A and B are shown apart, each in its own frame.
Chain A
Amino acid sequence: GNSVTQMEGPVTLSEEAFLTINCTYTATGYPSLFWYVQYPGEGLQLLLKATKADDKGSNKGFEATYRKETTSFHLEKGSVQVSDSAVYFCALSFSGYALNFGKGTSLLVTP
């Protein structure tokens, strides 16, 4: 079946450090890929998405590129801020089906 694997957390970084959160997927066919972010006490918010191979999704300084050859969608940001502290979820879906989520990666950014 379809599944998403993302790196275990928690990840702790100093402000202005470079961030990478790894995500790989298993799927039959070519799904759409997403990163969602969840701030404490809130619901999940879409951070970025990519719908086909080699697409790059970007938002708020975060980027991720859909790599078909490595079945990956790693999240990156060049300089994190304290306000980026949250839980990040990688997910995939096909039209007409529910999102499959990874287990989430907790990020803590310290001043």
Chain B
Amino acid sequence: DAGVIQSPRHEVTEMGQEVTLRCKPISGHDYLFWYRQTMMRGLELLIYFNNNVPIDDSGMPEDRFSAKMPNASFSTLKIQPSEPRDSAVYFCASSTFRDTEAFFGQGTRLTVV
């Protein structure tokens, strides 16, 4: 398996623009997680899905953030409008119920200027 695939790897955008981050989980994994990593706050869980259904979105910082999982092989994290404080590395990860370890993608480094 190719592992968790995220795109793009790097994104630079201007404040106020819409940003969409994409993730393809490992085939057969029924849990998908979105994390954000910054120097100040470390790794933060934003939201996670089970069988394409959002289970816990309490970590989503504001209404500007939204996430979807239309099918088992694809998820998006959208920020609209983006702000400079959203600059971070965003990770997607997937796992199964039985094997609780999560497998991470390479991350998307977002810079909002």
Contacts and interface: CB of A to CB of B under 8 A. Distances in A.
Given A98-B45, A98-B56, A43 B97 contact: no
Contacts of B33: 98-99
Interface in B25-66: 31, 33, 42-43, 45, 48, 50, 56
Interface residues of B, number: 21
A93 B35 CA distance: 15
Nearest to B42: A103
Nearest to A31: B100
A49 to B, nearest CB: 6
Nearest to B45: A98
Interface of A: 32, 34, 36, 42-46, 49, 51, 89, 93-96, 98-99, 101, 103-104
A99 B95 CA distance: 10
Nearest to A32: B100
B42 A46 contact: no
Contacts of A49: 101
A88 B50 CA distance: 27
B104 A96 contact: no
B43 A46 contact: no
